[in-house]
Amino acid sequence: MKSIAQYKPYAPLAVMLLLAFSWAFNFHVPSPLNDAGLAQLEWLYLLDILLVLPAICFWAIGDKRTATLKALAYIALMLLIGSLIIPTEQQVLISQLSPLRYVVLAVILAIELFSIALVILAVKSALNAASDPDDALADAIAKLTHYQPLATLLSFDLRLWSYLLCHDSIQPQYYRGQQHFSYHNKDGCRDNTLGFIVIIAFELPLMHLLLHFLWSPLAANIISGLTLLILLFFIAEYRALAKRPISIDNQQLIIRYGLYPSLSIDIANIASITPNSQFIPRSKHAKRYNLSGTPNLAIELKQPIGDTRQVYLGIDQPERLIHAIACQQANGAQN
């Protein structure tokens, strides 16, 4: 069971939602708390978002830089919410402060872009030195934040940009491991990804024009922007599939698959690794690393990793990995 301290990072979001719902109720539902709807004080709302929210952020988040950015983001969001939930005739201060949310968001975006630019430069330098790309990302992100959910999100995001901008500097042999195993040729996995890229790139301008003239320019811009992000993801994924291998390193099986987070399994924790030809449904106890067809390897764990008890892989030469695991387990038993 998690301790209370482990929930502290979620406190600012919980408090923001509580404030938003309670103030929406206060401004729109007469009750004894607001003198039957007569005492709806805008300045109390501003005190909550300008004092209470930042105080909760600094209490819950140890890193002051992250706490400051989160406090600014929550204030900007609450100013937007305030402009929506406070009746127009009662908006005095909020109407003057609302435009500041754009300034705050612009400052946050500029800071984050600058930080990401520095990280990408650091990662590119590490890649040029032929070090493990995942380790280079982890070291760079550790300098930005120690908050695990944010670190996981940044890791995925920066891995995407690394393969978009620095893919020529990344080679499979740079990753940790004495043996590497590929998966990009299995059931035309990489070719299918290329097909998605071609289809999205072809339909993007056509769909933008149709939405622009048949619906609205704003909807066209939003949908085209989201589609462009999907296109960038598929391009990075296409490049990562051939260069980010599954590896065996120091009695560990390191599962890397495309852009997704890696999973390390102690080889001593593998109860069995067998061929598979069956469809594997989604399950909270099973992880599937496979993009085309059905996984061709099934790994049963002796001890679960979190909720994971089985891991299913789709790789190019399953028999080679089975043999390598068997050899590692035999060597481990002898030692």
For range 125-139, the mean pLDDT: 74
Confidence of residue 35 (pLDDT cuts 50, 70, 90): low
The whole-chain average pLDDT of the chain stands at 82
For range 259-271, the mean pLDDT: 91
Q: Which of 217-221, 234-238, 306-310 has the lowest mean pLDDT?
A: 217-221
For range 165-188, the mean pLDDT: 87
Q: Which of 42-46, 51-55, 276-280 has the lowest mean pLDDT?
A: 42-46
Give the predicted TM-score (pTM) of the model.
Answer: 0.67
Would you call 250 helix, strand, or coil by DSSP? Answer: coil
Distance CA 250, CA 270 (A): 14
pLDDT in tens, 230-240: 999 999 999 99
Confidence of residue 2 (pLDDT cuts 50, 70, 90): very low
The predicted pLDDT at position 181 comes to 94
The percentage of residues in the chain with a pLDDT greater than 90, rounded to a whole number, is: 25
Would you call 53 helix, strand, or coil by DSSP? Answer: helix
Q: Measured on CA atoms in the order 91, 93, 95, 101, is the torsion positive or negative?
A: negative
For range 258-276, the mean pLDDT: 92
Residues in CB range of 301: below 8 A, 6 or more apart: 265, 269, 270, 271, 308, 309, 310, 311
The predicted pLDDT at position 1 comes to 41
Question: Do 190 and 166 touch, CB atoms closer than 8 A?
Answer: no
Chain-centroid distance of CA 186 in Å reads: 26
Top-confidence residue, 263 or 102: 263
pLDDT in tens, 281-297: 888 889 999 988 899 99
